Amino acid sequence: MKRGVLVASLLILAFVVAPAGAFSAENLRITVDEDGSADVTFNYKLSFVERIAVFLKIANPEQELKSALEEATGSPVTVTAAESNVAVFSIQSFAKVRSAEDGNVYATPGLNFTGAQATLDRYWFAPLVQADFSPELTVVRFPDGHEETFIDHFAIPALSHTIS
């Protein structure tokens, strides 16, 4: 009996201490509205350890993402939906809109995901997680349907697009 408990305990310990699967940023879609506000959808995968941390409310990915977006854009961000693998946000004044001779110019801020590792390092499970914060695919869509696409970038540059 004691031997069985010991073996089970060692197996559980090995499972918990072994490196977990990684956090992986999958898709980031930013849809800019005519008034410059934007809807942002971020799809990601969480490892087993991260799912436990989220379940226990030790980490709250959508709130971390909300804070990062507010810092990057300087605008208020609202979490409109959050599930275990997706977070949806609304950002007021994401793009600066100005009139020009040939139409309205939409200027979006640059986004940099390199600071996300520092945020992750604050949590107890950080040593167990291998994280990739660069979205596999990022799409910025403007009101006229024009899209800018980025594949596996840690930073998205500021963009400018004119709509006649």
At residue 37, does pLDDT exceed 70? yes
* Residue 5, domain member (yes or no): no
* Residue 164, domain member (yes or no): no
pLDDT digits (tens, 9 = 90+) for 98-131: 999 999 999 999 988 877 667 667 766 667 666 7
* Residue 46, domain member (yes or no): yes
* Residue 75, domain member (yes or no): yes
* Residue 7, domain member (yes or no): no
* Residue 105, domain member (yes or no): no
> Quick one: pLDDT at residue 100?
94
At residue 57, does pLDDT exceed 70? no
What's the whole-model pTM score?
0.76
> Quick one: pLDDT at residue 55?
46
* Residue 50, domain member (yes or no): yes
At residue 34, does pLDDT exceed 90? yes
Coil/strand/helix, residue 109: coil
The answer to which of 29-43, 44-58, 76-90, 96-110 has the lowest mean pLDDT is: 44-58
The answer to which of 97-101, 119-123, 131-135, 154-158 has the lowest mean pLDDT is: 119-123
* Residue 54, domain member (yes or no): yes
> Quick one: pLDDT at residue 121?
73
How deeply is 73 buried, as exposed, middle or buried, from its count of CB atoms within 10 A (0-12, 13-18, 19+)?
buried
Rounded-to-integer distance, Cα 143 and Cα 38, Å? 10
At residue 48, does pLDDT exceed 90? no
Share of the chain above pLDDT 90, in %: 43
Q: Which domain holds residue 49?
A: 23-95+112-153
DSSP string, 62-87: HHHHHHHHHHHHSS-EEEEEE-SSEE
Q: DSSP code of 95?
A: S
How many domains are there within the chain? 1
